[in-house]
């Protein structure tokens, strides 16, 4: 039994990468563990957001968490900004961080590239993420591969704090799934699938219609061979579709490669699209029933209260250790 924490930003509807790389595991990890899942709205505002839109995205994400199978009787689900301890411990973790190590984060470099003025929050995102995790004595953090570096930093900051001020924080481990940790863009399979991609054919969102799912998968970039085999370097498009197909069908990549020997990309893509549709359909249906219901508000209110009870104890310990 482990203590688990993770979060998703309410910057848009979660995409297939968020689901296959992270959120799907949030659901399975509920068996036998203590799980806390967060809507990290304070992370979402590191880049400017439209207030109405982020408000809608917060509610959509809450409904999607439940629709995907997060069970509020077993797990805590809450909105980050409703528990002020995150911002408070976030500040402390900033004071434990060095500029140099924050500037070296790949995500910071990517997101600040080419900008004439860079919001400071983009740089101090990782110490806030460290606070999110450390507040709950987290042992395991299910994330996609892109978060590995931030998690490594979280461990370093926690160890640095503990060494200097005494044993306050539990040192967390990442949980990165063997398949699905890095779902790629359908249009440019050398790039990860991302919410901020402006190419509308690149990303499948978890609430996309069946028609859109088929269109996007049929249009996915592949290669000019006619052979279905797994090779991330030479055949990134087909390999990405194999990963997606494998998770959505429950069949191993090896089994799929054997089954599609001698078959064309067209037939393969049709079956991938069907598997993805079959995976997302029940989520979409449950979402439609949840989005207008008051159950959502009750779950989030109760989640924030339960999260606060744990978080404020850790915050107090950290402040006491610091002498403030």
Q: Which residues are catalytic?
A: 111, 192, 195
User: CB of residue 8 vs ligand ADP: minimum separation in angstroms?
Assistant: 4
Nearest to 151 by CA among 132, 136, 172: 172
Beta carbon nearer to ligand ADP, 192 or 235? 192
Nearest residue to the partner ligand ADP, using Cβ: 21
Q: Are 4 and 142 in contact (CB under 8 A)?
A: yes
- Rounded Cα distance, 113 and 125, in Å: 16
Nearest to 40 by CA among 85, 79, 82: 79
Footprint of ligand ADP on this chain (CB under 6 A)?
A: 8-9, 11, 17-18, 21-22, 143-144, 146-147, 181-183, 192-195
- Asked if residue 262 lies in contact with residue 271, where contact means CB atoms within 8 angstroms, the answer is no
Report, in Å, the least distance between residue 11 CB and ligand ADP: 6
For 235-261, b/e burial (b = at least 16 CB within 10 A) is bbbbbbbbbbbbbbbeeebeebbeebe
Q: How far is the CB of 185 from ligand ADP (least distance, A)?
A: 8
Kindly give, in sequence order, each residue whose CB lies less than 8 Å from that of residue 185, ignoring residues fewer than 6 positions away.
191, 192, 193, 194, 197, 199, 202, 203
The C-alpha atoms of residue 18 and residue 190 are separated, in whole angstroms, by 17
Cα distances (angstroms) measured from residue 204 to each of 83, 198, 280:
31, 12, 10
Q: Which residues belong to the annotated binding site for L-tryptophan?
A: 132
Report the distance separating Cα 136 and Cα 143, nearest Å: 16
Neighbours of 29 (CB within 10 A): 19
Q: Collect all residues with Cβ–Cβ distance below 8 Å to 198 and sequence separation of at least 6.
A: none
Complex with ligand ADP: residue 26 or 169, whichever CB lies closer = 26
Q: How far is the CB of 137 from ligand ADP (least distance, A)?
A: 20
Q: Which residues are annotated as part of the binding site?
A: 9-11, 17-18, 132, 144-146, 183, 192-196
The pair of structure tokens assigned to 181 is: 């940790």
Q: How far is the CB of 309 from ligand ADP (least distance, A)?
A: 25
Q: How far is the CB of 133 from ligand ADP (least distance, A)?
A: 12
DSSP string, 301-323: HHHHHHHHHHHHHHHHHHHHHHT
CA nearest 111: which of 123, 127, 124?
123
Of 40, 55, 50, 164, nearest to 90 (Cα)? Answer: 40
How is residue 129 written in tokens? 């993420």
């Amino acid at each position: 039994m482990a203590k688990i924490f993770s979060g998703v930003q309410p910057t848009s509807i979660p995409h297939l990468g968020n689901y296959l790389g992270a959120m799907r595991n949030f659901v399975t990890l509920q068996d036998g563990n203590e799980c806390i899942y967060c809507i990290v709205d304070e992370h979402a505002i590191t880049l400017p957001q439209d207030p109405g839109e982020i408000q809608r995205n917060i509610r959509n994400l809450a409904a999607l968490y439940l629709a995907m199978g997060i069970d509020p009787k077993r797990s805590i689900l809450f909105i980050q900004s409703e528990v002020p301890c995150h911002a408070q411990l976030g500040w402390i973790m900033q004071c434990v961080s060095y500029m140099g190590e924050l500037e070296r984060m790949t995500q910071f470099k990517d997101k600040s590239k080419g900008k004439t003025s860079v919001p400071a929050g983009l740089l101090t995102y990782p110490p806030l993420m460290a606070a999110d995790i450390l507040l709950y004595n987290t042992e395991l953090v299910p994330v996609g591969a892109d978060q590995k570096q931030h998690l490594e930093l979280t461990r370093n900051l926690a160890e640095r704090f503990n060494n200097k001020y005494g044993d306050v924080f539990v040192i967390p481990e990442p949980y990165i799934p063997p398949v699905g940790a890095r779902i790629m863009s359908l249009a440019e399979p050398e790039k990860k699938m991302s919410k901020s991609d402006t190419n509308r054919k690149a990303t499948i969102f978890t609430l996309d219609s069946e028609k859109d799912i088929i269109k996007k998968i049929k249009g996915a970039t592949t290669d000019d061979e006619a052979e279905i085999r797994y090779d991330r370097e030479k055949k990134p498009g087909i390999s990405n579709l194999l990963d997606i197909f494998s998770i959505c069908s429950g069949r191993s990549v090896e089994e799929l490669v054997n089954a599609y020997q001698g078959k064309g990309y067209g037939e393969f893509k049709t079956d991938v699209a069907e598997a993805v549709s079959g995976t997302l359909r029940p989520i979409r249906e449950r979402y439609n029933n949840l989005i207008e219901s008051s159950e959502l508000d009750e779950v989030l209110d109760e989640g924030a209260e339960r999260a606060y009870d744990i978080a404020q104890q850790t915050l107090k310990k950290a402040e006491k250790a610091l002498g403030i």
